[in-house]
Amino acid sequence: MNATVEDIGGDVSRRDFLYLATGAFAAIGAAGALWPLVDQMNPDASALSLATIEIDITPVQTGQAVTVLWRGMPIFVRNLTAEEVEKGKAADVSDLKDPVARLLGSTAELPATAANITKAGKDNWLVAVGICTHLGCVPKGQNPGDPRGPFGGYFCVCHGSVYDTLGRVRSGPAPRNLDIPPYEFIGETKIKLG
């Protein structure tokens, strides 16, 4: 007996439906099984709580600095003296080893001027990631008596990278300036990082 397309048409469409339903059920089951694996990659509550922190800068006097931990990185917060502010402003960007302000979270390539590194009206405050851009060491210069190098900023004793008071690399093997984290002043005595 010869079968025609019309004779088996009902069977073909029912079979197609069963294949589609089985495939859809398997896909939903696989997604349901994979969701806990994907969801566990989200940061936990303790990590999210460190996404932004507030720093009270009241006790930091002119010429002093503090180091805080943010997202596992040391952050240098320094209250620059009037002389350090003027030296930072006077530096010619074309003389810098890295003429770009390294602003975390920004794709803009702004010149490494004091105005682009510090906040307007708060140019005496430097907030920078305290990690040398050469091999990830922590430069000296935060504490009284630390070596600061010829530019009065930071000095990486491991390989000799020298940064100025605004965290701009001036000499040594470091390829770029210290990163500037996203921050803002909230009031006169607090900085919000993140």
Extended strands (E) in 10-83: 53-56, 65-70, 73-79
Q: What is the mean pLDDT of residues 16-40?
A: 87
Query: Residue 182: pLDDT above 60?
Result: yes
Query: Residue 35: pLDDT above 80?
Result: yes
Confidence (pLDDT) at 129: 93
Are the C-beta atoms of 141 and 147 separated by less than 8 Å? yes
Helix (H) or strand (E) holding 169: strand 169-171
Confidence (pLDDT) at 20: 87
Distance CA 134, CA 158 (A): 10
Confidence (pLDDT) at 6: 56
Sign of CA dihedral 88, 91, 93, 97: negative
Distance CA 152, CA 35 (A): 53
Confidence (pLDDT) at 2: 59
Kindly name the residue from 15, 89, 159, 190 that is annotated as catalytic: 159
Query: Residue 18: pLDDT above 90?
Result: no
Q: Could you tell me which residue, 186 or 144, shows the higher pLDDT?
A: 186
The structure's pTM equals 0.71
Residue 134 is among the residues annotated as catalytic for this protein: no
pLDDT tens readout for residues 63-108? 899 999 988 889 999 999 999 899 889 888 988 999 999 888 888 8
In what side-by-side order are the strands of the sheet with 162-164?
A: 152-155, 162-164, 169-171
Q: What's the chain's average pLDDT?
A: 85
Are the C-beta atoms of 163 and 148 separated by less than 8 Å? no
The candidate with the shortest Cα–Cα distance to 176, out of 114, 133, 119, 113, is 133
Query: Residue 11: pLDDT above 80?
Result: no
Q: What is the mean pLDDT of residues 47-69?
A: 85
